[in-house]
Structure formats: structure tokens, C-alpha cells
């Protein structure tokens, strides 16, 4: 097998990746599978930061449609990401690798607060660092968080896990004519309004020359496969 060319990466998992067949919330067996994949990837000697979304529990926009102020809905969304990180942290430790959740919103009774130095220190010790509570600010997404943390923590790429094996011109599950891209620039992703990440995330990645590797999390060992340059993925950037 080829040797990985990365030293440090940020993996972005959506909240949906934790739902399994349930379609909502957290399915423990799915969390265990993700944790095993992450531990295998970390065993390659690559430092892993993981940004987890919260859409399986709350999304700010959806909460605000029910009349709750958007910043409150977004705070609920950020708290949802903390729950997802905690369950994943426990599963990673059970799978045999040390892990630490660092939250952008201070909650000292629950986990440590994110700061760059602390994250770097934990990564350097070979711990999987779970980056919780997004950016800590409303009106942002965890995709933007992943790019932000990748730039801050000097990672070489963002690995964006999805349900499909790359970026398509349209949803391939709905449109049989959807074209799959092997490689495209950040600018093209923005101009074509590709839905794989929000435009703030793409713009930040473009400014910081941060590659985004879009791949399917469905296969066991998918993260390790991407790190070894195997398997199907689209490289943006
Ligand atoms: N969120 C936020 N600020 C951030 C990151 C996330 O307010 O920096 C909130 C926002 O409401 C978002 C929710 O947390 O809808 C969950 O994050 P996201 O939608 O990115 O999760 P995913 O779709 O990846 O599961």
C-alpha cells in the first residue's frame, strides 16, 4: 500500500453520519464504526482533528423556522455538535486511541475549551482531537469550522465525508445525468453553486489554499483509504 502524504488533516463528519439507519439522532453501532475508521487512520501516524456537525439533532435554521431567534437556534445546533463529539470521543477511546473533545463554547464541567495551542499539543501527542461547538458563533456551519480549524492548525487538507463518492454537478441520487468531478478549483465550486459545502467554507478554503477532499464514508476504512490516496474522491483546490 502507498504511504500517506499527509502529516495532519481535519476530518469533517456531518451529524447525519452518526444516524445510521435510524435517520435521526445517534446510532451507537454507526458511531463505533466511525470510531474504528478514525483509529485506523490515526494508526498511520497522521494527526487527526475531527469536526462533527449537529444536523442529526438540531440545525439553527430549522429551529428558527419555529419562531426561536436564529442565534438561539444556532446555539442549540452548536450544543448538538458537543453531544456528537462526546459520544465519538468515548467510542474512539474504547477502540484504543486517546481522544480529546475541545469545545469552542466554554463548558468546563463537560470538556476542555478549544484554543489553538491546546489543540496543537493534543494532536502532537497522537490524540484524536474532536472539535466541538463549531466556530462558537451563530450564522456559521461546521463545514466552515472544518476549513477554519484546518487553516489555524496547519493541516494539509480537509477530508469532507459525504454519502457519495465525490462532488457531482447535481444530486446523483435524484438526477441520473449528474456529472462527477474528479478535480475542480475552489472558484469553480463557488461559481457552480455546488452544494457539497457552503460558499463561506469554499471561500475560506480558497483564501488559504486548503484542499478539500470529498469522499464517501459508507465503506469501512474509507478515511484510511483517502489518506493512502486510494478509493474514489473529488479533490477541490
Ligand atoms: N452552528 C453554528 N455555528 C457554527 C457551527 C454550527 O451556529 O460555527 C450551528 C448551526 O445552527 C448549524 C448547527 O450548528 O445548523 C449544526 O451544524 P451543521 O449544520 O454544520 O451540521 P451538519 O449539517 O454538518 O450535521
Nearest atom within ligand 1 for CA of residue 138:
7
CA 50 to centroid of ligand 1, rounded, Å: 14
For the CA of 55, the closest atom of ligand 1 is 25
Which residue(s) pair with 65 in the sheet? none
How close is the Cα of 196 to the center of ligand 1, in Å? 14
| Strands in 133-218 per DSSP E | 157-162, 167-168, 180-181, 183-184, 212-216
User: Which ligand 1 atom is at minimum distance from the Cα of 59?
Assistant: 15
Please state the length of the chain: 237
**By three-state DSSP, how is residue 181 classified?**
strand
Instruction: Supply 12's cell numbers.
Output: 469533517
SS3 call for 25: coil
50 burial type by CB count under 10 A (0-12 exposed, 13-18 middle, 19+ buried): buried
Average pLDDT over residues 71-98: 98
Between the CA of 127 and the centroid of ligand 1 the distance, in Å, is 24
Looking at residue 173, its pLDDT comes to 85
**From 13, 54, 199, mutation site for ligand 1 pocket: most ligand atoms within 8 A of C-beta:** 54
Reduced to 3 states (helix: H, G, I; strand: E, B; else coil), residue 194 is coil
The three cell numbers locating residue 105: 463554547
Helix (H) or strand (E) holding 9: strand 8-13
Rounded to the nearest 5 degrees, what angle is found at the Cα of 185, between the Cα atoms of 179 and 189? 55
Element (H, E) at 101: strand 99-103
pLDDT at 2: 57
- The whole-model pTM stands at 0.96
pLDDT of residue 172: 87
From the CA of 12, give the closest atom in ligand 1: 24
Query: Is there a contact between 65 and 95 (Cβ–Cβ < 8 Å)?
Result: no
**Cβ(12)–Cβ(160) under 8 Å?**
yes
Ligand 1 center to residue 139 CA distance, Å?
A: 8
Best of 12, 23, 56, 59 for a ligand 1 pocket test (most atoms within 8 Å of beta carbon): 59
pLDDT tens digits for 143-179?
A: 999 999 999 999 999 999 998 999 999 988 889 999 9
The ligand 1 atom nearest the CA atom of 71: 7
How do residues 173-230 score in pLDDT, each as one tens digit? 889 999 999 999 999 999 999 989 999 999 999 999 999 999 999 988 999 999 998 8
Ligand 1 pocket, residues with Cβ under 6 angstroms = 14-16, 53-55, 59-60, 73-74, 77-78, 81, 134-135, 137-138, 140-143, 145
Q: Is the pLDDT of residue 1 over 60?
A: no
DSSP 103-152: ESS--TTTSEEP-HHHHHHHHHTTPEEEEESTTSSTT--HHHHHHHHHHH
The protein residue with its alpha carbon nearest to ligand 1, atom 15, reads 59
Neighbours of 114 (CB within 10 A): 22
Residue 162, classified by CB atoms within 10 Å of its CB into exposed (0-12), middle (13-18) or buried (19+), is: buried
Amino acid at each position: 500500500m502507498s504511504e500517506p502524504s499527509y502529516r495532519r488533516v481535519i476530518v469533517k463528519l456531518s451529524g447525519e453520519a452518526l444516524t445510521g439507519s435510524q435517520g435521526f439522532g445517534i446510532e451507537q453501532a454507526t458511531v463505533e464504526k466511525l470510531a474504528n475508521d478514525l483509529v485506523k487512520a490515526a494508526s498511520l501516524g497522521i494527526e487527526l482533528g475531527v469536526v462533527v456537525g449537529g444536523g442529526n439533532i438540531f440545525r439553527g435554521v430549522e429551529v428558527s423556522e419555529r419562531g426561536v431567534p436564529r442565534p438561539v437556534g444556532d446555539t442549540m445546533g452548536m450544543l448538538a455538535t458537543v453531544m456528537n463529539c462526546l459520544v465519538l470521543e468515548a467510542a474512539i477511546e474504547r477502540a484504543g486511541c486517546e481522544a480529546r473533545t475541545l469545545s469552542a463554547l466554554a463548558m468546563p464541567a463537560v470538556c476542555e475549551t478549544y484554543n489553538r495551542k491546546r489543540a496543537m499539543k493534543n494532536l502532537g501527542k497522537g490524540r484524536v482531537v474532536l472539535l466541538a461547538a463549531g466556530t462558537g458563533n451563530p450564522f456559521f456551519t461546521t463545514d466552515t469550522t472544518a476549513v477554519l480549524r484546518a487553516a489555524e492548525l496547519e493541516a494539509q487538507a480537509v477530508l469532507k465525508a459525504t454519502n457519495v463518492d465525490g462532488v457531482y454537478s447535481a444530486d446523483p441520487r435524484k438526477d441520473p445525468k449528474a456529472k462527477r468531478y474528479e478535480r475542480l478549483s475552489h472558484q469553480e465550486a463557488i461559481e457552480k453553486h455546488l452544494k457539497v459545502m457552503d460558499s463561506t467554507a469554499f471561500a475560506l478554503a480558497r483564501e488559504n489554499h486548503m484542499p478539500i477532499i470529498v469522499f464517501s464514508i459508507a465503506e469501512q476504512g474509507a478515511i484510511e483509504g483517502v489518506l493512502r490516496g486510494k478509493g474514489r474522491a473529488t479533490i477541490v483546490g
